[in-house]
Amino acid sequence: MKKTKFIFSCLLVVGTFFVGSKKTIAQNVAEQDTKAKAILDEVSKTTKTYKTISAEYELVLLNKDKKQTDKQDGKIQVKGSKYRLEIPGNTIVCDGKTVWTHNKDAQEITIKNFEANSEDGLNPTNIFTLYEKGYKYKFDKEEKEGAVTYSIINLYPTVKPEKKKFHTVKLFVDKVKKQVHQIKMLMKDGGTQIYTVKAFTPNAVLTDNMFVFDTKGFKADQIVDERDSN
């Protein structure tokens, strides 16, 4: 369970790259890399035209010796402030107000209030716009893989960096599509987490009932309601 929580918390970091903040990054341009800014602005401009996003990804965990310790597949669907996240053993559903987490192994449902503005400002509805707040960014290089050229940009946290488990986020941006293809998180313990987008479908038809979890069929002792009563 601790491992699942850790992976989910990391997904929240990655999750701050989807449809989200409307802020611009011009206010920090004096301190930022102008080439990186131009690329990220294009990514943001493209992403914010999407009403919904459905994406499948692969997560690979490497230890400090660069040996693979885990590999998982997942899926995320986003519609405005709503999201549905499928990770091994868990389904996380949010309707913009409430978050349901279904632990399939324990057959337990945890219900919480959705906090759009947590301490880190992280939630899966802000994917692909992480850099707009709390990060310094710098263009690294271009790298070609097959027929696709990627612009690699490094992000460095500037808000409470001492509390982060990572020190650098590397974005691999498809130069033509203006989409993030891969995210590498360089951890402080020497490990690496690699998120690779395997399928990306913008403006998919996603109905609102996909973002509500039906607790019918579960017993009272299988439901943990942690919502504030106020």
Confidence of residue 56 (pLDDT cuts 50, 70, 90): very high
In the chain, domain spans: 2-225
Q: Identify the pLDDT of residue 110.
A: 95
Rounded mean pLDDT, 46-54? 88
Confidence of residue 27 (pLDDT cuts 50, 70, 90): very low
Distances (CA, A) of 222 to 5, 103, 107, 227: 18, 10, 7, 15
Q: Which amino acid is at 89?
A: G
Sheet holding 82-87, edge to edge: 135-145, 148-157, 166-174, 179-187, 192-202, 52-62, 68-79, 82-87, 90-94, 98-103, 108-113, 223-225
**Two structure tokens written together for 200:** 């990306």
pLDDT at 28 over 60: no
Confidence of residue 140 (pLDDT cuts 50, 70, 90): very high
| Residue reference for tokens 């710098």 | 138
The rounded percent of the chain whose pLDDT value lies above 90 is 55
pLDDT at 14 over 90: no
Q: Identify the pLDDT of residue 193.
A: 92
Q: Identify the pLDDT of residue 159.
A: 84
pLDDT in tens, 102-133: 999 999 999 999 876 554 444 565 655 666 77
Q: Identify the pLDDT of residue 23.
A: 42
Q: Identify the pLDDT of residue 73.
A: 93
Q: Identify the pLDDT of residue 115.
A: 78
pLDDT at 146 over 90: yes
Arch. (CATH architecture) of 2-225: Clam (2.50)
| Residue reference for tokens 């995320």 | 76
pLDDT in tens, 83-101: 999 988 999 999 999 999 9
